[in-house]
């Protein structure tokens, strides 16, 4: 069986550092974000993801630093990533900046065979011992370019294809390289309304190409609303509210359009994100960043 491996996010545009280390420090001040995703509500053992990240520029030398924790649980397995991100930014034009990023990861894997329904009737699984905190390191890289209105990036957050079990084992898990491409543009439709289309592409061996398209509007620098489409997979609705220049909260709901979405035990996917920006010179801030 081959399937989705890395966690997916509907509100990826507010959680870019999780997939591209070049984003670290690009907001120009310290930023912290926490995200919770519950995928396929009502389905026993469905994916559940929590992430927490913080990143900041260091001085005025173009260096950015970040740290994040991602916990991803699917059925009897849970994975925790501890990531450190480093970026270096160069000025390419009056308002254009190009960042190069590196990611160092510590991966902890738990597998609880004892929780499987088939445990008592499958002699091979009966012989398997639960795995606790199996450690493996990894590295990643990314490049990220942005102006005040536009951004584009490419990355591979995990470059090492680690095999967690011997080939003779009843279970074999191998980390595949996930390649990401992200882009977006902010249009000023009028003094009160902004429009931001974005795209996220993900490619990994053994799974179909995944493309996420989204369209968000921001009204009066406060209210954000939009829709998204995950190619051949789901439609999503998004809503966000900027409580202040520093605080933002966003909600998203996905509805599957696959055969899985037609089942009575799948009530869609729910996601919430909270972000706080430590803005120092609020008086000089023309408008909050929309990405």
Angle at 212 between CA 208 and CA 216, to 5 degrees: 175
pLDDT in tens, the chain (291 residues): 555 567 889 999 999 999 999 999 999 999 999 999 999 888 888 899 999 999 999 977 899 999 999 999 998 889 999 999 999 999 999 999 999 999 999 999 888 877 776 655 566 665 667 778 789 999 999 999 999 999 999 999 999 987 766 555 555 667 789 999 999 999 999 999 999 999 999 998 888 889 999 999 999 999 999 999 999 889 999 999 999 989 999 999 999 888 777 676 788 899 999 999 998 765 555 556 788
pLDDT at 273: 97
pLDDT at 103: 97
User: What CA–CA distances, in Å, run from 50 to 22, 33, 68, 69, 112?
Assistant: 21, 11, 11, 8, 19
Question: What is the distance in angstroms between the CA of the first residue and the CA of the last residue of the chain?
Answer: 36
Number of H helices, E strands in the chain: 1, 15
pLDDT at 61: 82
- How many Å apart are CA 55 and CA 64, to the nearest integer? 7
- Chain CA centroid to CA 42, Å: 23
pLDDT at 277: 94
pLDDT at 21: 97
- How many Å apart are CA 177 and CA 260, to the nearest integer? 26
pLDDT at 127: 60
pLDDT at 265: 74
Cβ-count burial 88-125 (b if 16+ within 10 Å, e if not): bbeeeeeeebbbbbbbebebebebebeebeeeeeeeee
pLDDT at 287: 58
pLDDT at 153: 98
Q: What is the gyration radius of the CA atoms in the chain, in angstroms?
A: 20
Closest listed residue to residue 15, CA positions, set 275, 194, 256, 209: 275
């Amino acid at each position: 069986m081959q399937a989705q491996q890395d966690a997916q996010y509907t509100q990826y545009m507010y959680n870019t550092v999780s997939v591209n280390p070049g984003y670290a420090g690009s907001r120009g001040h310290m930023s912290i974000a926490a995200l919770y995703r519950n995928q396929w509500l009502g389905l026993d053992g469905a994916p559940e993801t929590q992430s927490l990240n913080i990143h900041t520029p260091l001085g005025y030398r173009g260096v950015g630093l970040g740290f994040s924790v991602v916990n991803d649980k699917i059925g009897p397995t849970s994975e925790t990533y501890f990531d450190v991100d480093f970026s270096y930014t160069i000025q390419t034009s009056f308002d254009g900046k190009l960042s190069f990023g590196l990611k160092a990861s510590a991966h902890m894997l738990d597998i609880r065979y004892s929780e499987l329904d088939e445990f008592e009737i499958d002699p091979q699984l009966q012989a398997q011992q639960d795995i606790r905190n199996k450690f493996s390191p990894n590295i990643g890289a990314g490049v990220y370019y942005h102006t005040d209105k536009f951004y584009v990036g490419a990355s591979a957050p995990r470059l090492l294809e680690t095999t967690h079990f011997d080939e003779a084992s009843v279970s074999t898990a191998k980390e595949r390289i996930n390649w990401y491409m992200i882009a977006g543009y902010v249009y000023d439709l009028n003094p009160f309304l902004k429009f931001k289309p974005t795209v996220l592409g993900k490619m990994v061996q053994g799974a179909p190409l995944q493309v996420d398209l989204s369209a968000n509007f921001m009204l009066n620098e406060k209210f954000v609303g939009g829709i998204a489409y995950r190619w051949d997979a789901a439609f999503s609705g998004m809503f966000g509210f900027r409580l202040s220049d520093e605080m933002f909260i966003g909600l998203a709901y996905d509805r599957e359009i696959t055969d899985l979405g037609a089942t009575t035990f799948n009530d869609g996917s729910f996601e919430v994100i909270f972000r706080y920006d430590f803005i120092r010179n609020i008086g000089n801030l023309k408008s909050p960043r929309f990405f």
